[in-house]
Amino acid sequence: MNEANVETTRPAAVRLAARAAHYVTEVRAEIRKVTWPRWEELRKSTGVIVVFLIAAGLLIGFVDWGFALLLVNWLGRAFG
């Protein structure tokens, strides 16, 4: 019997368990390859992200405020 026939004769639960075990083994092997950042690098990167998010939030807020002003006040008066 070849390997494909053996695979189809095993119960589905056994095949699923074998695939899950293989997946976990592969994930652990990939995690070992990861280069984790040092604490200083992580802190600097987090600071950059926080500053960027605050700037993006302010920009979106000002654009929203501007459109609200435009639509409610100016267009409302023009067509109201």
Q: Distance between CA atoms of 27 and 12, rounded to whole angstroms? A: 22
Residues whose CB falls within 8 Å of the CB of residue 10, separated by 6 or more in sequence, listed in order = 18
Compute the distance between CA of residue 76 and CA of residue 6 in angstroms, rounded to an integer: 74
How do residues 29-41 score in pLDDT, each as one tens digit? 999 999 999 999 9
Confidence of residue 76 (pLDDT cuts 50, 70, 90): confident
More confident residue, 36 or 9: 36
Domain boundaries, the chain: 1-34, 37-80
| Three-state secondary structure call for residue 80 | coil
Q: pTM for the whole thing?
A: 0.55
Q: Which two tokens stand for residue 79?
A: 């067509």
